[in-house]
Amino acid sequence: MRKAAIVFTAIAVLLSDIMCAVVAFAYRDMLCGIAHMGYSAPASAAFLYAIPFMIGIIICVVLAMVFNKKARQ
């Protein structure tokens, strides 16, 4: 159970890094689109990409805590 907790912790960290990259790319793309291509949505709409990542991170953290608790018993 201890290895499963470590794996899910690593997945949560990896998801957070990927989330930052995806949101930063989308935000930059929105800013460029607003300036040069006439996008009408605000650049802050790029932060909507973070929602599925946050759900996955929360699930991984909860599973890591459960497996860590079971490993201590």
Q: What is the mean pLDDT of residues 50-70?
A: 97
Residue 5 in tokens: 């907790």
Which residue range forms the structural domain that includes residue 64?
2-72
**Is it the case that residue 1 has pLDDT exceeding 90?**
no
Q: Is residue 44 very low, low, confident or very high in pLDDT (cuts 50, 70, 90)?
A: very high
Query: What pTM does this model have?
Result: 0.89
Read off the pLDDT of residues 18-43 as tens digits, 9 standing for 90 and up: 999 999 999 999 999 999 999 999 99
Specify the number of domains making up the chain. 1
